[in-house]
Amino acid sequence: MTAPPIALARWGSFHVGGRLVSLSGKPVRELTLNPGGVPARIDFNGTYLAGAMYAQFMIPADCRGRFPLLLWHGGGMTGACWETTPDGREGWQHFFLRHGWATYVSDAVERGRSGFAPFPDIFPGEPLFFTIENPWERFRIGDGPYARQTPLPGNQFPTDRESWLSFMREVVPRFTSTDDWILDAYLALLDRIGPAIVLAHSQAGFFACRAAQERPNLVKALILVEPAATGDPGKAAALVQIPTLVLYGDFIEVDARWPTIRARGIAFAEKIRAGGGTVEVIDLPERGITGNSHMIMMDRNSDEVALLIQSWLAARGFWSEPTSRPSAP
Amino acid sequence: MTAPPIALARWGSFHVGGRLVSLSGKPVRELTLNPGGVPARIDFNGTYLAGAMYAQFMIPADCRGRFPLLLWHGGGMTGACWETTPDGREGWQHFFLRHGWATYVSDAVERGRSGFAPFPDIFPGEPLFFTIENPWERFRIGDGPYARQTPLPGNQFPTDRESWLSFMREVVPRFTSTDDWILDAYLALLDRIGPAIVLAHSQAGFFACRAAQERPNLVKALILVEPAATGDPGKAAALVQIPTLVLYGDFIEVDARWPTIRARGIAFAEKIRAGGGTVEVIDLPERGITGNSHMIMMDRNSDEVALLIQSWLAARGFWSEPTSRPSAP
Contacts for B57 with CB less than 8 Å, ≥ 6 apart = B10, B11, B12, B13, B14, B68, B102, B103, B104, B105
Residue B206: which pLDDT band, with cuts at 50, 70 and 90?
very high
Nearest to A84 among B13, B168, B171 (CB): B13
Assigned domain for A44 exists: no
Among candidates B251, B305, B322, B327, which has minimal Cα distance to A8?
Answer: B327
Q: Which site among A1, A2, A15 would you substitute to test the B interface, given the most B Cβ atoms closer than 10 Å to its Cβ?
A: A15
Classify residue A202: in a domain, yes or no: yes
Nearest CA to A126 out of B27, B212, B278 is that of B27
pLDDT of residue A322: 79
**Whether B15 and A166 lie within 8 Å, measured CB to CB:** yes
DSSP one-letter string for A167-222: HHHH---B-SS-HHHHHHHHHHHHHHH-SEEEEEETHHHHHHHHHHHH-TTTEEEE
Interface contact B91, partner A, CB < 8 A: yes
Q: What mean pLDDT is reported for chain A?
A: 96
What is the domain extent for residue B243?
51-315
Q: What is the pLDDT of residue B34?
A: 83
Query: Is residue A315 pLDDT above 90, yes or no?
Result: yes
A9 within a domain of the structure (yes/no): no
Domain assignment present for residue A36? The answer is no
| Candidate from A34, A117, A206 with C-beta closest to B34 | A206
Whether residue A117 contacts residue B129, with contact meaning beta carbons closer than 8 Å, is answered with yes
Distance, CA of A245 to CA of A224 (rounded, Å): 6
A326 within domain boundaries: no
Contact B197, B70 (CB under 8 A): yes
- Count the Cβ atoms, other than its own, within 10 Å of residue A102: 24
Comparing A17-21, A149-153, A297-301, B37-41, the range with the smallest average pLDDT is B37-41
* B63–chain A Cβ distance below 8 A for any pair: no
**Chain A residue nearest residue B229, CA to CA:** A37
Percent of chain B with pLDDT over 90: 94
Complex ipTM = 0.96
Task: Report the relative pairing of strands B196-201 and B69-72 from DSSP bridges.
Answer: parallel
Q: Are A49 and B165 in contact (CB under 8 A)?
A: yes
How far is A84 from chain B, CA to nearest CA, in Å?
A: 5
pLDDT score of A285 = 98
Please state, in angstroms and rounded to a whole number, the distance separating the CA atoms of residues B225 and B328: 25
Within 8 A of A8 by CB-CB distance, chain B residues are: 5-8
Q: What is the pLDDT of residue B272?
A: 98
Beta pairing, strands A69-72 & A46-60: unpaired
What separation, in Å, do the N-terminal and C-terminal C-alpha atoms of chain B show? 13
User: Which residues 6+ apart lie within 8 Å of A37 measured at CB?
Assistant: B228, B229, B261
Residue A8 lies in a domain: no
- A149 close contact with B: CB closer than 8 A: no
CB A268 within 8 A of CB A236: yes
- Whether A329 shows a pLDDT value over 90: the answer reads no
Vertex A244 angle, CA A239 and A247, to 5°? 135
Compute the distance between CA of residue B48 and CA of residue A131 in angstroms, rounded to an integer. Answer: 5
Nearest CA to CA, how far is A53 from chain B (Å)?
8
Residue B88 backbone zone (phi > 0: left; psi -120 to 50: alpha; other: beta): left
| Alpha-carbon gap, residue B150 to B141, rounded angstroms | 9
Rounded to whole angstroms, how far apart are CA atoms A259 and B258?
Answer: 60
Q: Are strands B103-107 and B219-225 parallel, antiparallel or unpaired?
A: unpaired
**Nearest residue on chain A to B18, judged by CA atoms?**
A169
Q: Chains A, B: CB contacts under 8 A, how many?
A: 234
Q: Is the dihedral of CA A182, A183, A186, A192 positive or negative?
A: negative
Establish if B14 belongs to a structural domain: no
pLDDT of residue A127: 94
3-state secondary structure (DSSP) of residue B207: helix
pLDDT in tens, B234-258: 999 999 999 999 999 999 999 999 9
Q: What is the pLDDT of residues B306-316, one digit of tens each?
A: 999 999 999 99
**CATH number of the domain that residue B153 is part of:** 3.40.50.1820
Which residues of chain B does A113 touch, with a Cβ-Cβ cutoff of 8 Å? 78-80, 107, 112-113, 170, 172
Considering the entire predicted model, what is its pTM?
0.97
DSSP codes, B156-195? -S--SHHHHHHHHHH---B-SS-HHHHHHHHHHHHHHH-S
**Contact flag B7-A5 (C-beta cutoff 8 Å):** yes
Residue A1 has pLDDT above 80, yes or no: no
Nearest CA in chain B to A4: B9
Q: DSSP code of B130?
A: -
Q: How would you classify residue B114: left for phi > 0, otherwise alpha for psi between -120 and 50, otherwise beta?
A: alpha
Q: Of the candidates A172, A157, A168, which has an alpha carbon nearest to the alpha carbon of residue A76?
A: A172
In single-letter form, the type of residue at position B37 comes to G
Question: In this predicted structure, what is the pLDDT of residue B191?
Answer: 98
- CA-CA distances (angstroms) from residue A243 to A187, A220, A298, A317, B53? 19, 7, 25, 11, 38
pLDDT of residue A324 exceeding 80, the answer is no
Using a CB–CB cutoff of 8 Å, tell me whether B25 touches chain A.
Answer: no
DSSP A132: T
What is the distance in angstroms between the CA of the first residue and the CA of the last residue of chain A?
13
Indicate the angle between helix axes B203-214 and B179-193, nearest 10 degrees. Answer: 60
Distance from CA of B244 to the nearest CA of A (A): 20
> What values do phi and psi take at A268, rounded to 5?
-70, -40
Mean pLDDT of the B282-309 span: 98
Q: What is the pLDDT of residues B54-102, one digit of tens each?
A: 999 999 999 999 999 999 999 999 999 999 999 999 999 999 999 999 9
Query: Is A108 within the bounds of a domain?
Result: yes
Q: Are B133 and B35 in contact (CB under 8 A)?
A: no
- Give dist(CA A110, CA A185) in Å, integer: 11
Across the interface, do B264 and A36 touch by the CB < 8 Å criterion?
A: yes
Could you write out the DSSP letters of every residue in B80-114?
GGGSS-TTS---HHHHHHHTT--EEEEE-TTSGGG
- SS3 (DSSP) at A254: coil
From chain B residues 224-243, the ones with a CB under 8 A of any chain A CB are 228-230
Q: Do A169 and B49 touch (CB under 8 A)?
A: yes
Partner residue facing B179 (CB), from A35, A43, A46: A35
Overall domain count for chain B: 1
A18, A107, A138 member nearest B40 (Cβ): A138
Instruction: In whole angstroms, give the CA distance from residue B223 to residue B209.
Output: 10
- B78 in contact with chain A, both atoms CB, cutoff 8 A: yes
Helix, strand and coil content of chain B, in percent to the nearest 5, comes to 30, 25, 45
Q: Is B267 on the interface with A (CB under 8 A)?
A: no
Q: Which residue of B has its CA nearest to A202?
A: B34
DSSP conformational letter for B5: P
Identify the helix (H) or strand (E) that includes residue B6.
Answer: strand B6-23
pLDDT of residue A35: 81
What is the spatial distance between Cα B133 and Cα A20, in angstroms, rounded to a whole number? 12
